[in-house]
Structure 1
Amino acid sequence: MKMAKVDLAAIAYVSERMPIIGVGTYQVQAQSVLHETIDEAFKLGYRFIDTAQIYRNEAVLGRILPGLLKKHSLKREDIFITSKVSPANQGKGKTSKSVVKSLQDLSTPYIDLVLIHWPGTSRLKSNHKDNAKFRAETYAELEQLMDQGKIRSIGVSNYEINHLEALLAECRILPAVNQCECHPHFRNSEVAEYCKQKGIHFQAYSSLGGPDYVEDLLKDSTISKIAKVHSTSSAVILLAWGLNQGYSVLPRTHTVNRIGENWKAREITLNEKEMTDIGSIKKIKKACWDPSVVV
């Protein structure tokens, strides 16, 4: 594949500014819950919030962040915010309009990182050829928004290798991040390695297995055994497994005490045998949607 000459500005911004662990907000819409969890997160030292247009909580975040920043003596530039373009907002004209709305809802002059949430477009079948057309148009508009300073870096989410290859052949600004499902039961190693080779940061979501699969991972015998050795929880080991590979992680929770527990993952160093044991778990289970079916 011939790779286009690309601007590395987005990658530089992310490498300098993006923390390795953030607060995921998927399925968290209640203002009281968001306020309580982010308040605790800022108190502990978190400086990274992950949201998306499809999460329908950007406006709530926009209402609570000014007060929380003031409470914790922080400025806007002290925190890193990621949002994502909804599949319904892909395509020429739609993308820019949706990002401007995200800026308004978040009450911020800029967003640190904006991703294409999904390689497919709403109302198109997964095998429809226009999926490629719309995601190309969306990325081109993100490049323009970055030129305008409305967003500081850009990237993608749920992109498979074929999606990335097509993007790298035509993009002007190299994507800084590919955010994908990743946990010991779905290691996504080929995509992670491809991103590493191309200088794209691999970011893990659903590190604990996703809303409907958490218990399977937390009760995995290999994970539980390693957690006992480190006198910590299986959840912390799952997050540490990602961090120890150089991935950033985005655990989400509705519970304040889990915010502190997740933060401990930064302190865990897994040895070579532990990493090998986790990487040898035979059970394979994808907890979330499958982007490989999108052409």
Structure 2
Amino acid sequence: MPKLDSRAADYVKERMPMIGVGTYQVRSESILTDTIDEAFKLGYRFIDTAQIYRNEAVLGRILPDLLDKHSLTREDIFITSKVSPVNQGKGKTSKSVLKSLEELKMPYIDLVLIHWPGTSRLKSNHKDNAKFRAETYAELEDLMGQGKIRSIGVSNYEINHLETLLEQCRILPAVNQCECHPHFRNTQLAEYCKKKGIHFQAYSSLGGPDYVADLLKDEAINKIAKTHKTTTAVILLAWGLAQGYSILPRTEKVKRIGENWSAKEVKLSEEEMKSIESIDKSNKACWDPSVVV
């Protein structure tokens, strides 16, 4: 196999911060304004969005004023978006990314991911899922060549999806954004990504909307939190950072922005890391991409 173009991976390694502001399910203009305002004040420079989040236009309205308020420029921040499953396939991908650029009111997006290995309106076992994935990634490569996006990658890809992609693509995917937390460590996938030079990015670090309570109640994590005089949530985020994963905590509460940011100051001991590793229950809180062919 010929060596893949590493420009996207190099860009992410150089430019992408390790902690971002997640915006999943956050569409309120006032909430996004308040939380991102606080985030910029504290030092965050990374915002994660997606076409299916339906907040790109809101971000496009509020970011110019927030950047100006904090004496920042477009080049000072890192923006990730993701191609919706409904926009996968030849022609659709480019059109959707151009719309994202228009809504965000930006000349480029730092990182664009394929959000899901499957395509809308196709069953998970339909053979054309692979076809549309390939077409979508090829269009992202072209958009990167045009300077519309600076780096490209994927989200929710399993090893089999990545193996197929690496046989077809020209540009090495910079990132694979996947569910990862101590009850679902996703270790095999993370190690595969590391071996291939793909940065592993964790979402749902607190366990996901319907599972977060179970994870926050874990006795081992609570014990460590008490030792560090912080919250369980901060320990969960610090654990992700300790693995070398970038993290994307989302919140609608301004006070949580600072709490999440403090995770970078927490240094877990080797013993604490082993204690957390021992609680993996293989409990997946979000959707399962392994069913997509």
1:92 equivalent in alignment to 2:87: no
- Of 188, 191, 195, which residue of structure 1 is paired with 2:189? 191
Contact 1:4/1:170 (8 A) holds in 2: no
Moved more, 254-263 or 280-289: 280-289
Contact 2:11/2:150 (8 A) holds in 1: yes
Contact 2:182/2:280 (8 A) holds in 1: no
- 1:153 partner SS: strand
1:137 equivalent in alignment to 2:135: yes
- 2:80 partner SS: strand
Q: CA deviation at 1:282?
A: 4.5
- Of 59, 64, 69, which residue of structure 1 is paired with 2:62? 64
Counterpart CA distance in 1 for 2:63 and 2:99 is 17
Residues 231-278 of structure 1 show CA distances to partners (whole Å, capped at 9, x for unaligned) of 100000000000001000000000000000000000011111111110
Structure 1 segment 1-295 matched on structure 2, within 5 A: 3-295=1-293
The root-mean-square deviation of aligned C-alpha atoms, in Å, is: 0.6
- 1:91 partner SS: coil
Q: CA deviation at 1:6?
A: 1.1
Q: CA deviation at 1:164?
A: 0.3
Aligned length: 293
- 1:34 partner SS: helix
- 1:152 partner SS: strand
Counterpart CA distance in 2 for 1:147 and 1:35 is 32
Q: CA deviation at 1:213?
A: 1.1
Contact 1:4/1:169 (8 A) holds in 2: no
- 2:281 partner SS: coil
Q: CA deviation at 1:212?
A: 1.1
Counterpart CA distance in 2 for 1:215 and 1:282 is 16
Contact 1:7/1:174 (8 A) holds in 2: yes
Residues 23-48 of structure 1 show CA distances to partners (whole Å, capped at 9, x for unaligned) of 00000000000000000000000000
- 1:154 partner SS: strand
Counterpart CA distance in 1 for 2:280 and 2:128 is 37
Moved more, 282-291 or 30-39: 282-291
Moved more, 280-289 or 113-122: 280-289
Contact 2:185/2:280 (8 A) holds in 1: no
TM-score, length-normalised on structure 2? 0.99
The aligned amino acid for 1:259 is I
% identity of equivalent residues: 81
The aligned amino acid for 2:99 is K
Counterpart CA distance in 2 for 1:53 and 1:136 is 19
TM-score, length-normalised on structure 1? 0.99
Residues 201-250 of structure 1 show CA distances to partners (whole Å, capped at 9, x for unaligned) of 00000000111111111110010000001110000000000000100000
For structure 2, list consecutive stretches of 5 or more residues without a partner in the other structure.
Answer: none
Moved more, 207-216 or 86-95: 207-216
Residues 36-92 of structure 1 show CA distances to partners (whole Å, capped at 9, x for unaligned) of 000000000000000000000000000000000000000000000000000000000
Contact 2:241/2:264 (8 A) holds in 1: yes
- 1:98 partner SS: helix
Contact 1:4/1:168 (8 A) holds in 2: no
Residues 103-148 of structure 1 show CA distances to partners (whole Å, capped at 9, x for unaligned) of 0000000000000000000000000000000000000000000000
Contact 1:181/1:205 (8 A) holds in 2: yes
Q: CA deviation at 1:285?
A: 1.3
Runs of 4+ in structure 1 off by over 6 angstroms are none
Counterpart CA distance in 1 for 2:213 and 2:291 is 27
